[in-house]
Amino acid sequence: MKSFIPREVETLWTLFTAPVVWALHFAACYATVAVFCAKRLPASFSFDSVRIVLFVVTLMALGVIVFAAWLAWRQWGFGDDDPPHNEPTRDSRLLFQGFATLLLSGLSFLAVVYAAVPLMFIAECQP
């Protein structure tokens, strides 16, 4: 079966996928809570709703990161070859990129979880 996504991606952009998701999630969480607390709009929309919305956003972000990590893992050959991939060859470069992306995805996954932890505990907006 032909894979929908190419097995090898020769671009640096995939490396940044997970950190970009982390940054977006971080901005979304902080901006949403700040705007909600500053504007207090509308009254029927409680802080718990904000919490649930951001919880869903967090799950989506984690999903994208896990997907990016899976692609990276595949590019890394599912760990067939050990680092460091420091040969001046195309193969080595691809493996290195895959491994680096996998590590960055792990870091981003953790960061998204950490950013979401306070959401569970914040009581509400204080006037």
Partner 1 sequence: MDDDRLTGACRPIRSEERIVRQGSDRNGRTKAVASLFLLCPFLVSCSGIQSALDPAGREAADVATLFFTMLLGGAIIWAGVVGLLFYAARKRRVHSEKNAGRLILWGGAVFPSVVLLALLSYAAWLMPNVRPWFQGADGGMRRIEVTGEQFWWRVRYLDAGGAVAFETANEVRVPVGERVVFSLKSPDVIHSFWIPVLGGKMDMIPGRENRLTLQAEKPGTYRGVCAEFCGTSHALMAFTVHAMQPQDYEAWLLARRASSGVQDAEGLALFLKHGCAACHTVAGTEAQGKIGPDLTAFGERGSAGAGTLANEVEHVARFLRDPGRIKPGAKMPHFTMLPEAETDRIAAYLTGLK
Helix, strand or coil, per DSSP, at residue 38: helix
- State the Cα–Cα distance between residues 22 and 16, nearest whole angstrom: 10
Cα 19 to Cα 26: distance, rounded to the nearest angstrom = 10
Report the site for partner 1 in 45-84 (rule: CB under 8 A): none
- For residue 61, the minimal CB distance to partner 1 (Å) is 17
Which of residues 4 and 121 has its CB atom nearest to partner 1 in the complex?
121
The count of chain residues that interact with partner 1, using the rule CB under 8 A, is 13
Distance CA 67, CA 73 (A): 10
Nearer to partner 1, 30 or 114 (CB): 114
Touching partner 1, residues 90-109 (CB under 8 A):
106
Residue among 6 and 118 whose Cβ is closer to partner 1: 118
Asked if residue 123 binds partner 1 (CB under 8 A), the reply is yes
Q: Which residues contact 36 (CB under 8 A, 6 or more apart)?
A: 45, 47, 50, 125
Query: How many residues are listed for the chain in this entry?
Result: 127
Binding-site ranges for partner 1 (CB under 8 A): 106, 110, 113-114, 117-118, 120-124, 126-127
